[in-house]
Structure 1
Amino acid sequence: MEDGKLTVRAVERALDILLCFTQAEDLSLTEIAGRVGLHKSTVHRLLASLEGKGFVIRDPASERYRLGFSIWELSANLTHSDDPALILLPEMERLRDQIGETVSLYVRDGMERVRVQAVQSNQAIRRVAPIGARLPLYVGASSKILVAFAESDEQQALLRHPTWPPAAASESYLQQLSEVRTLGYATSVEEREPGAAAVSAPIFDRAQRLVAALAVSGPSNRLTVEKMKEQAPLLMETARRMGKMLK
């Protein structure tokens, strides 16, 4: 039993190391150890195993690590014809061209939201949205959508979760969720990141189940509250059209 626990722990630690690369293209041993909270000697051994299987590559010159080809071999089988992130991509590109800002697609995973697809703005100053990024579920326009339109029991479980900040379960926050359900969209201005703003709408499938949150984001000096209100009808119409494309 003890050996089994150690084996599982090693797997979890190795996966934690791989997840570090959702936020950075390459990392040093020290940076990885700091992110996962382990001694460098332990991380070095795990990286050696991952490197041996092709999951990471070490640059001998810089001593930095990046994802290896085994990751791409696995991901080749990830995208199928029924993958929403692939099916909805053309509509996201169309919306980006109409609005001129970065468009993202988010889904809820536990107490976080994950960006599963993104189309970057073509403007010089733009909101960069890396795919795979995990963000807090209690702040931001897309988070409000994923919480506001969740099933009642799921919503209550989120609000009562030990990690949910008390401020995000206040009366004012609940009022925001009510307004989001009434309006059909949510906005945020510098809630999670200074200088950034976003507007988001829900995507429901044909059975009216919440699938994802569609968001437009950009610099707050360009994506103003008034601008987001103007864009909301187009965003919601795109989200409705996307929902009809899903089973």
Structure 2
Amino acid sequence: MEDEKRTIRAVERALDVLLCFTTGSDWGLTEISQRVGLHKSTVHRLLATLEQRGFVVRDEATEKYRLGLRILELSAYARADDPAVVLLGEMERLRDQLGETISLYVRDRKDRVRIQAVQSEQAIRRVAPVGARLPLTVGASSKVLLAFEEPSVRDALLSDPSWPAFLDKEAYEEQLREIVAAGYATSYEEREPGAAAISAPIFDRSGKLYAALSVSGPSNRLTPDVMQERAPAIIGAAKRMGTLLG
């Protein structure tokens, strides 16, 4: 039993190391050690094993690690009926129509995770890496994932002790009610300066919230007036995507 616990713990630590690469493409040993809260010697052993198996690669020049080809091999076997794959065509059509970056977010506990993205082809654009994990407290897609969630789940999230104290809960809940009435949410330089986004909910055929469809770009292009004009197109695309889900 004790050996089994140690083995499981080693797997957990290795996965924690790999998860560092959801927020950056290159990490040094010290940086990873600090992020996962483990001694550098332990992290070094984990990285050596992951490197041997092809899951990470060490750059000799910078002494930093990046994801290896094994990760790409695994992602290549994504199921054809995976919603992130099924909805890709509609996302590309919306990108071509609006000219901005399109993202798909789902809620994972207290975070939102980008599970699919189609980059804008404009010179100045929002770059949206797939797998990015972001807080559920700010941003258009975050508000959609909360506003259209089951009331009991939403209330539990808003009442969680980890919810930021600086956010007025009553004002936030009123904003969520307005989003439900409008059918979409917007954010203008909420999470970072110079960025804006508009998001609509995607429901599966049973009426359950599946994801938030988001269109993001520079705030000088996605002004509040422009986002309001584009809302019907985004809501329409989200509804079409919902019909593709089981």
Tell me, yes or no, whether TM beats 0.5. yes
Kept after mapping to 2: 8 A contact 1:159/1:169: no
Moved over 6 A (4+): none
CA distance in 2, matches of 1:168, 1:4: 43
Q: 1:138 aligns to what SS in structure 2? A: coil
Deviations 1:100-143 (A, max 9, x none): 11110001111110000111111111111100000001111000
Letter in 2 for 1:246: L
Kindly indicate whether residue 40 of structure 2 is the aligned counterpart of residue 29 of structure 1: no
Amino acid at match of 1:210: L
Contact 2:103 2:118 in 1 (8 A): yes
Matched with 1:125 is: 124
Displacement of 1:91? 0.9
Map 1:229-240 onto structure 2 (within 5 A).
229-240=228-239
Structure 1: distance between partners of 2:62 and 2:161: 41
Cα pair 1:95 1:103 within 8 Å, conserved: yes
Count of matched residue pairs: 246
Which residue matches 1:172?
171
Query: Are residues 1:73 and 2:73 paired?
Result: yes
Alignment match, 1:87: 86
2: CA distance between counterparts of 1:159 and 1:29?
36
- C-alpha distance in 1 between matches for 2:176 and 2:2: 46
User: Which piece of structure 1 moves more, 62-71 or 111-120?
Assistant: 62-71
Please give the per-residue CA displacement for 1:137-190, whole angstroms capped at 9, x wherever unaligned. 111100000000001111111112222223445111000000000000000111
> Is the contact made by 2:158 and 2:169 (CA closer than 8 Å) also made in structure 1?
no
1:2 Cα deviation from its structure 2 partner? 4.4
What is the CA distance between 1:8 and its match in structure 2? 2.8
The answer to whether the aligner puts 1:220 opposite 2:229 as a matched pair is no
- Give the match's secondary structure for 2:32: helix
Question: Helix, strand or coil for the counterpart of 2:130?
Answer: coil
Tell me the residue number matched to 2:54: 54
The aligned amino acid for 2:160 is H
- C-alpha separation in 2, matches of 1:150 and 1:182: 14
- Root-mean-square deviation (CA, aligned residues, Å) is 1.4
CA deviation map 1:45-95 (0-9, x unaligned) = 111121122211222333221112222232232x21211111111111111
Question: Within 5 A, what are the aligned runs for 1:73-152?
Answer: 73-77=73-77, 79-152=78-151
Cα shift at 1:42 = 1.6
SS in 2 for 1:177: helix
2:202/2:239 contact within 8 Å kept = yes
Does the CA-based 8 Å contact 1:54-1:68 persist in structure 2? yes
**Inter-partner Cα distance in structure 2 for 1:83 and 1:108:** 16
CA distance in 1, matches of 2:161, 2:197: 27
CA distance in 1, matches of 2:244, 2:86: 8
TM-score normalized with structure 1 length: 0.95
SS of residue paired to 2:57: strand
TM-score (normalizing by structure 2): 0.95
Percent sequence identity is 67
